[in-house]
Amino acid sequence: MRRIQSNVDTRSETFLENQRHNRRLIDELRRRQEEVRFRRPQRDIDRLTRQKKLLVRDRLSLLLDPGTPFLELSTLAANMAYDGEVPGAGQVTGIGMVAGREVVIRADDASVKGGAWYPLSVKKIVRALDIAIENRLPVVHICDSAGGFLPLQADLFADRYYAGRMFRNQCALSKMGVPQVAIVVGHCTAGGAYIPALSEYSVIVRGTGAIFLGGPPLVKAATGEVVTADELGGCDLHTQVSGTADYPAASEPEAIAIARDVVAQLRRPTKTDIDTADAEPPAYDPEELYGIVPREVKVQFDMREIIARLVDGSRFHEYQPAYGTTLVCGFARIWGYPVGILANNGVLFNDSSLKGAHFIELCNHNRTPLVFLQNITGYMVGREYEARGITKDGAKMIMAQTGSVVPKFTVIVNGSFGAGNYGMCGRAYDPRLLFMWPQGQISVMGGEQAAGVLSEIKVRQLEREGRSLGAEEIAAIREPIVEEYTRRSSAYYSTSELWDDGLLDPVDTRNALAIALSCSLNTPFADPSYGVFRF
What CA–CA distance (Å, rounded) separates 512 from 529?
29
What pLDDT band is residue 457 in, cutting at 50, 70 and 90?
A: confident
Q: Is residue 52 predicted with pLDDT exceeding 80?
A: yes
| pLDDT tens, position by position, 520-531 | 999 999 998 888
| pLDDT tens, position by position, 321-372 | 999 999 999 999 999 999 999 999 999 999 999 999 999 999 999 999 999 9
> Within 10 A of 226 (CB to CB), how many other CB atoms are there?
9
- DSSP assigned state of 117: B
13-17, 450-454, 518-522: least confident range: 450-454
| pLDDT tens, position by position, 207-258 | 999 999 988 988 998 999 999 999 999 999 999 999 999 999 999 999 999 9
Percent residues over pLDDT 70 in the chain: 100
- The helix-helix angle for 447-464 and 471-488 (nearest 10°) equals 140
What CA–CA distance (Å, rounded) separates 430 from 128?
13
Per residue, what are the HEC states of 12-65? CHHHHHHHHHHHHHHHHHHHHHHHHHHCCCHHHHHHHHHCCCCCHHHHHHHHCC
What CA–CA distance (Å, rounded) separates 20 from 13?
10
**End-to-end Cα separation, the chain, in angstroms:** 33
Mean pLDDT of 418-423: 95
What CA–CA distance (Å, rounded) separates 222 from 120?
30
pLDDT at residue 445, as a whole number: 79
What CA–CA distance (Å, rounded) separates 167 from 63?
23
Judge whether 511 and 281 are in contact, CB under 8 Å: no
What CA–CA distance (Å, rounded) separates 309 from 8?
12
- Domains identified in the chain and CATH numbers: 12-43+271-444+490-535 (3.90.226.10), 51-265 (3.90.226.10), 447-488 (no CATH)
